[in-house]
């Protein structure tokens, strides 16, 4: 991204939104500090992820108190604005951005990712024009999108809106970005931030060799969401084959299935970073997450994984382009 450096692995904060278990704020901030000190200094969040923006504000205060004000320059917080459809006037847009600035305790948002629910409502262009004005005024450092499809990303770029990234679902189960999105991003110098790369935690040893889980075992919103995606992609039996292939590769590299899943997407063209969700204070995979940086996959590894993927259904034909699942 021009003038923007980000960790290749970002800490995802959807998990504090309330659908992944109750979060203790004090414990959460303590674990945020641990992630930061380990080198994972970029946070992905949104205005509607419960207290996520407030956590960033509290974490910034603690980081400055314990590590000094200079430490604040080492962290980044990439938030999103996800408005309900309606008039996108200057006052509406400014009020939303001011809320995020206040909650996070910053004068400038590092990156603002804009999501829009309904392409039939053209007022997303009004919102982007106002957001770009705020970028010029210094209240937003970089302007980005979340879950936009290829056609609308192209239209926005053609209009001169300087979008630096688009956040999309991207995993070994969901390779839809490779159908159209990656080609456009490479041509127009837009980067991708990938989420869902671990399928909500399903791409892990604990599901290897296990019978298909019922709803009782899918105890978070992430597990429920991505199990539905697996059902569309090819079902539990094929998913077990994928886990088996990933496990062979992981053992070869003395890594975990999650490490291999993250590394595979991290190495894809146009991907600036992979978002790994953190259930702050509830469960912690920090040490394992860090090992993904050391994994180097070779041609044999990719061939083993691709042999399974060749049997999967075409999600682009079943769901559509990136983000279309939010607009069906």
- The count of other CB atoms within 10 Å of the CB of residue 213 is 15
As a whole number of angstroms, the distance between CA 212 and CA 225 comes to 15
pLDDT of 262 above 90: yes
Tokens of 72: 């604040």
Summarised one tens digit per residue, pLDDT across range 235-250 is: 999 999 999 999 999 9
Summarised one tens digit per residue, pLDDT across range 78-112 is: 999 999 989 999 999 999 999 999 999 999 999 99
Which residues lie below 8 Å from residue 162, measured CB to CB, with a gap of 6+? 132, 135, 143
Of 85, 107, 100, 164, nearest to 132 (Cα)?
A: 164
Summarised one tens digit per residue, pLDDT across range 147-199 is: 999 999 999 999 999 999 999 999 999 999 999 999 999 999 999 999 999 99
Q: Is 61 helix (H, G, I), strand (E, B) or coil?
A: helix
As a whole number of angstroms, the distance between CA 85 and CA 32 comes to 33
Of 1, 9, 10, nearest to 191 (Cα)?
A: 1
pLDDT of 1 above 50: no
Summarised one tens digit per residue, pLDDT across range 287-300 is: 999 999 999 999 99
- In this prediction, residue 118 has a pLDDT band, given cuts at 50, 70 and 90, of very high
Per-residue pLDDT, 2: 52
Q: How far is CA 18 from CA 15, 78, 162, in A?
A: 7, 19, 33
Summarised one tens digit per residue, pLDDT across range 194-220 is: 999 999 999 999 999 999 998 888 988
Backbone angles phi, psi at 145, to 5 degrees: -125, 165
Mean pLDDT, the chain, integer: 95
pLDDT above 90: percentage of residues in the chain: 90
As a whole number of angstroms, the distance between CA 89 and CA 129 comes to 10
As a whole number of angstroms, the distance between CA 125 and CA 102 comes to 25
Per-residue pLDDT, 19: 65
Q: For the chain, give the longest Cα–Cα distance.
A: 56
- In this prediction, residue 23 has a pLDDT band, given cuts at 50, 70 and 90, of confident
186: left (phi over 0), alpha (psi -120 to 50) or beta: alpha
Per-residue pLDDT, 279: 85
- In this prediction, residue 3 has a pLDDT band, given cuts at 50, 70 and 90, of low
Strand locations in the chain (E): 9-12, 42-44, 76-81, 111-114, 143-146, 163-169, 191-195, 271-277
Tokens of 281: 């204070």
């Amino acid at each position: 991204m021009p003038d923007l450096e980000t960790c290749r692995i970002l800490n995802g904060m959807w998990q504090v939104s309330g659908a992944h278990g109750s979060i203790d704020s004090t414990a959460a901030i303590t674990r945020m500090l641990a992630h930061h000190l380990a080198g994972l200094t970029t946070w992905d969040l949104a205005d509607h992820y419960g207290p996520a923006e407030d956590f960033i504000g509290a974490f910034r205060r603690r980081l400055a108190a314990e590590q000094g004000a200079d430490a604040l320059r080492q962290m980044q917080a990439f938030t999103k604005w996800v408005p309900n459809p309606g008039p996108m006037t200057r006052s509406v847009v400014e009020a939303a951005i001011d809320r995020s600035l206040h909650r996070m305790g910053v004068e400038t948002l590092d990156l603002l990712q804009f999501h829009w629910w309904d392409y039939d409502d053209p007022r997303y262009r009004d919102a982007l024009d106002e957001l770009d004005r705020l970028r010029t005024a210094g209240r937003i450092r970089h302007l980005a999108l979340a879950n936009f499809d290829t056609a609308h990303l192209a239209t926005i770029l053609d209009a001169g809106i300087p979008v630096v990234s688009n956040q999309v679902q991207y995993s070994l189960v969901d390779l839809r970005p490779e159908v159209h999105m990656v080609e456009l991003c490479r041509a127009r110098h837009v980067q991708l931030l990938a989420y869902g790369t671990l399928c909500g935690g399903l791409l892990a040893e604990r599901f290897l060799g296990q019978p298909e889980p019922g709803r009782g075992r899918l105890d978070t919103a992430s597990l429920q969401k991505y199990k539905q995606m697996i059902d569309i992609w090819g079902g539990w039996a094929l998913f077990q084959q994928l886990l088996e292939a990933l496990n062979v590769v992981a053992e070869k590299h003395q890594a975990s299935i999650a490490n291999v899943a993250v590394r595979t997407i991290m190495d894809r063209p146009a991907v600036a970073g992979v978002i790994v969700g953190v259930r702050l204070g509830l469960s912690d995979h920090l040490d394992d997450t860090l090992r993904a940086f050391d994994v180097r996959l070779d041609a044999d590894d990719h061939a083993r994984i691709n042999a399974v993927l060749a049997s999967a259904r075409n999600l682009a034909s079943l769901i559509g382009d990136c983000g279309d699942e939010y607009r069906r």
